[in-house]
Structure 1
């Protein structure tokens, strides 16, 4: 049992951090139950629209309280809708809890911050590309939404975890 103690400590840290942050996030979401979406989700939708506009795909955001979504009207056509689950926050919680489970001082915070920025950029890019697929290649909507783009986000998380473990968590402290 003594050999498993370090692993159990890491697992316990992960579970505690994950549960606490998920509960805090749920309290945050509960504060916006009567709104179309929460402010963070709207912020992501605005960034997606800005990128799409810059790429030559004129985009208007349309609120739908009935759907609790922000609809993307891209080049005059409704393409996708932004819901809370699309804002990458839940994935960011999972990513952060894992990295903090292998806490290595201040570099842990820097790695998490950099990872969150990268995940956010991946997510905005993912939604932009998904809207373009819905607009230009509707035959690939399902495979894009259900398989390819989740693989990009979760693949990004796994790659970041592997980098954290290989280059930071398993390294002995420099003397």
Structure 2
């Protein structure tokens, strides 16, 4: 048994750090969410909605993104039509937690690891705002493609980007980079 523990030590350390980081960040995020009422929307999601609205207005779209009075979401109105909802899950925090957990588990030098995590979180946030804005416009043009766009294409884009960041991290900066 000891032979296998020694043989798989790097893998076990990776898995342990990954899950410990993931669990700690997820629990902290849940505490954050629990600080809001059942029908309230968290501040991060509100900022994502505001930034999405600003991006669409930058491209001269007639857009209003407003908090629902009764429910924990924001209504997205484009050209006066309700096109979509922005809910807590749209803020990409869960994707960021996954990203941070992986990079931490494959950590390199402390400063590089920290800077890469900050870069990753900021770039995921920006990509997510672009993703929501683009999804809103595409849903206006192709409402029958909601499942394909929201359920397949856009998750593929954000998770694909995170995967590319991970590969870049492993090959360039992690302690396993050669």
TM-score normalized with structure 1 length: 0.94
Could you tell me how far apart the structure 1 residues matched to 2:73 and 2:164 are? 30
Deviation at 1:66, TM superposition (A): 3.3
Determine which of 114, 120, 124 is the counterpart of 1:119: 124
Unaligned regions of 5+ residues in structure 1, if any? Answer: none
Could you tell me how far apart the structure 1 residues matched to 2:37 and 2:17 are? 30
User: Cα deviations across residues 96-120 of structure 1 (Å, max 9, x unaligned)?
Assistant: 0110011212100101111111111
Aligned-residue Cα RMSD (Å) equals 1.2
Aligned pairs, how many? 172
Show the counterpart of 1:109.
Answer: 114
Deviation at 1:35, TM superposition (A): 4.5
Show the counterpart of 1:21.
Answer: 25
Within the alignment, does 1:52 sit opposite 2:52 as a pair? no
Deviation at 1:65, TM superposition (A): 4.3
Within the alignment, does 1:87 sit opposite 2:91 as a pair? yes
Q: Which moved more, 1:65-74 or 1:126-135?
A: 65-74
TM-score normalized with structure 2 length: 0.92
Could you tell me how far apart the structure 1 residues matched to 2:71 and 2:160 are? 29
Determine which of 169, 172, 177 is the counterpart of 1:171: 177
Unaligned regions of 5+ residues in structure 2, if any? Answer: none
User: Cα deviations across residues 27-58 of structure 1 (Å, max 9, x unaligned)?
Assistant: 00000134531000000000000011111112
Determine which of 34, 39, 52 is the counterpart of 2:43: 39
